[in-house]
Structure 1
Amino acid sequence: MPLQFLGRRRNRLDLLVWALPLLGVATIAGLCLLIWGQLTTERQQVEREAEARVTGLTQAFEEYARRSLQQVDLISNFAALQVEQRARGEDWAGGAQTSLLKLGLAELPGVIGFYLADARGRVLDATRPMAVEEVGGRDYFLVHRDPGSAGLFIARPEPGRAGQPWQLPLTRRLQHGDGDFAGVLVVLLDPRHFTDFYRASQFGRQGVVALVGLDWVLRARRSGERLWFGDTAGNNYLIEQLKRWPEGSYVAGSKLDGVQRRLAYKTMQGYPLVALGGLSLEEVLAPYEARRALLLRLTALACLALLLAFGGLSLAAASLRRSQAARERARAQFEAAWDASTDAFWMLRAERDARGNLLDFRFSHCNARGAQLLGKSKEELIGRLRSEVFPDGGDSRFLMLYCAALRSRRTLQDEFGLDMPAARGLSLQHQVVPVGDGVALTLRDVTAERQREAAMLRTQAALQATEKRLRDITDNLPVLISYVDTQERLSFLNATFRAWTRMEPEQALGRPIKEVLDERRYAQRAPWLRRALAGERVSFELESERDGQPLWLRNDYVPDFGPDGVVQGIYGLSQDITVLKEVQRELLALARHDSLTGLANRHQFDEVLPLALARAARSGRALALLFLDVDKFKSINDSLGHAMGDAVLKEFARRLRESVRSVDLVARLAGDEFVVILEELSGEEEPALVAHKIAAAIARPFELEGQRLQVTTSIGIAYQSGGGAATVTPAALLQRADEALYEAKGAGRNTFRQTAF
């Protein structure tokens, strides 16, 4: 071997001796950087998951708290309206409490009780004993004295009496019909109702849920088993976050317990409250820290192993300078590199006859993967003919491909499988390169890629099928579904649009909604559109018309928020509720009329009598109330049955209605009791004449169901002159008429008695 060649070889080995330690250091540094990057990515992932989890829990907590407040808000508002509808001077406290009990306020989760206070702060009525009888100095009472204090006021939590839990007052202003302050309704809610949302399985032992007012006073807070009520929050992070966004997430420590947490908050719509949820960073990161410590220990061991390995390789490289087996080692390294490849590699030498005609190809080299595909060892394969290795000579495409590459001296590619046990079911990409009088063949397994491509095609087909199903569903819903972008252009409409407007959806898509609707219809929707595009979910009803017929629609506009939290458009849902409105009108009529006789019922009578007294006071004209019942009606029911009794009542009502003017109110109070309100009277003799007329009409025989009955009535009359109507209450007038009725019955029935104020 020439000395020059030996010198070059020693130089390469010297370089290898110095390069191996450097490579070891670089590898160890690279490993450390890789582990550091992996740990950083894992921590970021853990923190993102914690943020998503606490955001979801906080949204659920906000909805849970808001739903509880809305229930109290709705029932208390109804009670306030009843107080406002009562005449000044009436006992509104008892009526309001009865309404609240009927509506189930006392049964709502978390409600301890409630009480009513008048305009001077005196407690009038309560569902439980009160520690105080006067609340005029309480903050919520002072707030509600202001006429502008509408809606539910959420006061500061108050400690209960000895041994009693904390209570959170939820208050509402009560006022008379003229707007004057009547008092307050105070609902006492156990603030633990909100902290009951806390579950250690979801928040951990050091998590937190809190309900904070915009006055920064804690309405309720829980972490583990600790509770806080009425403390001042004062979290500077939360204050700064709320200045920018109504909901979000941040990391901060608590001044109350010193725990560092990932916190999420959401401003409660309709109430001056912020729902807050948090997870302890120590608990969230505990599994990560354990994995981090283990991975660092393993990395240290790996670095030590690498250090030892590269040290050994350096020693081996030094030994190679003195070794005479450099060529064998180089070949072994070459073989190892090919065997490590995931691609199969063959080298085939052409076999020719004496004339140079190509007969076959012989294996001259292969790597481990190439031998594995053929189900043989490398030693068994090298030196054998292709026709001997493949059953029946193999696929003819092999030989054609090899010959074509050899003739053209160009690299050729094709893709097909091998009919060998180890290669069945695989998609193989063949790359043939001419090398001398033979070819080098690389086979790459592309089965996974083809499977991914097939899966993508299946997914695409499934998405198209899903889109079609969704379109079929939306087109067959009795709801108009639309999507409007931020420029108020329609970009989606279902088939209901065609049925309602007689216009094809394609004619409206891409056009501003103002062009599709007329000016009046657009003006009805414009304010709601602007609110929805500003990020608010809105629901409203409006009256319209279709084909000349009245039409009621319920509309819901839902904002579509993009990943950046900016509204991209709104989803619109419109429902035809015309039939529902008609049913509501019919139910309202049924609620004011007696179902048996068709006359006004007690509810309508109670509405009309106070108004009649007020009109009499203004006009100075007299008014009379006639109280009637059917004489011996019980004997009719007992002897002839309830069906005949109902028939008598209907005929009695018909004759009574025909005996008075159309402007006079005739009502059935209950059973066989009836009343008549006579207005615009000139003197006391007029109601007596009407009573005579009624008695005569009733006295005519009743021809019912083939039977002839003799029915009479007794009448009590309460006469009220116009000048004193302002001082008479409806209850007093009805009481006088009732007393006069009993006088008529005492006088032998089938007569009347009259009394006057």
Structure 2
Amino acid sequence: MPWSIRSRIIVFSGATSALLLTATAVWQPPAMAGVLGGTALSMLLAWLACGWITASLDRLRRGIRHIMATRDSTDPVPRPGAQDVPPRGEIVHALTVEFDALLDELETRRSVTTAIIDASPLGYFRTDAQGRTVSVNEAYRRITGLEAGSTLHWDDLLVPQERAGVRDAWQHAVSRRVPYRALQHIEHGRGREVRAIAVSSWPVMLGRTFRGFVGAIEDVTARESAESERRHLLEIFDASSDFFAQLDARGNLIYLNPAGRRRAGLGAAAPLAGHSYADFHPPETMRRLAEEILPHAGRHGMWLGETTMLGGGAPFAASEMIIAHHDDSGRIERFSAVIRDISADKANADAVARSEATLRALADAIPGLVAYIDRDEVYRFVNLSYERGFGVGRGEVIGKTLHAFLGDAEYRDIAMHVRLALQGERVVFERARMRNGVKHYVESTYLPQRDGSGSVVGFHAVLSDITERKREEERLLRASLTDHLTGLLNRAGFESTAEAAIRAARATGNTLALLFVDLDHFKAVNDTHGHAAGDLVLKVFGERLCAALRAGDEAARFGGDEFAAILEGMRAEQDALLFAAKVVEAARQPFPLPEGEARLGASVGVAVLRGDDDLASLLRRADDNLYRAKAAGRGRASAGDTLQAAAR
């Protein structure tokens, strides 16, 4: 009789009694059906798993061929050497066990492959044969800003000037069933921030049947911005009278700006291949480069000093800055050089002054606050932004020490960072400072400056105003901790505040109380006047709750008609009950509505912090006391054994 394993192995017994494994039965149901009905991620990495899976199937194929070559089951007389071969039933059983194990292994590998895809930061999508998106992953939604259930589609997010062209290109790809790759710009989120999205998709063919596309998207906004900045920087280099060069790790020239080409006698279109840094330096400078300058730049990132260069066949004095660029493994992959001919400066003091003025103009054009402080912590340079940022002229800064200019308090805040910078470390930190009575946040970067011997002679301070970024972070934090309807703390904000209050109470020995408040008969307001009226009542009660408490107390709305409050500095349980009475009285007052008014009430559970209480136990006791107040007739407060009478 035929044998079968999980409906994937079919064994036929015929005239030749041959064992036949059908590749279609083995592969198609678990793989093809999974591809067509699974996620786009599985389809994208199916080719990765294919070689892995095929290797296991090859093992089985070799085993089958060995068995069939060893003994022909149709021959009643065993062939020489086949006496020890087991009966066919045992062979099939052994093969069944082996193949079953292989299928389990394949399933495990498929699951691992799928998990790897799901962890990818790329956004994946799948479309049907008409090009309609039918499946996306979370990364896709995060990149596009499309929420689950949104009626918008990806092409609705395109910036207006690209929309028609992109739609036409996509329809062309769908109709022709060809790959689609594009760089698109979308408007992301409520702020309509423009982001650059790289899209790549591939048609899915099952035999000759076109089933749609699978594809991936990537947010390349930062990359596009960096490329734009690089182009702008090259434009500056092209317009500069200084020489800008870039070399590979071996010193071969890979870029030279127009000013450098003119000085070197190279035409604007002349190829740089075959030219190295040695073409522009005399032998003694090349020795210095090899022995001192390049090793220093490799260790410290940059070397700045004077060298002798060749230009037009004649040597000239140059101010040269060599910057070493490292790859992720720390190896030098290229050098950048900024070169200025200072031969005239050495002979002419006026040229030196002009050079300093040029450098100052460049520094003054930088929006960040830039200063140079020497090893004695004395200001030697500040740019225009630094003057404006501190509201002083540079004459009031240059020559002063950091301590004298900033004052005791501010100097204490940065003293540790200054010491690290003067020890040769690059330092980045954030701090808040007051300016015209307003708090501003500043990100400071200290870059050590070394002389030709590698000794630290001072540091450059670059200060950037990050106030807007910090305020946005604070706004988002507040939003995550605040109830959107009443403006009070939400449950998460309340728990965070309460935990801090409990720690403070234990540290100071003060008493802390927690009020748990529930509006009585609130459901009737929603049922009679509608949810808009209910929301109005909740807002008004939130205001009344805050008014009934002290300035330092915290109030929260947990949701629905449940409120809570934290009272610090209570002397006794009776003090907390007095505040609870105010809350009950506040709820007893009529609530004006657009049509008429609503009369409610409130029940309050009171819990005072005990020595072994945590927040959970404090909340639990307040909740229990709240139900005692409700059971006693509502419109009153309960602290356990103590029950306050209902308000009249």
What TM-score comes out, normalization by structure 2 length? 0.37
Larger-Rg structure: 1
What TM-score comes out, normalization by structure 1 length? 0.32
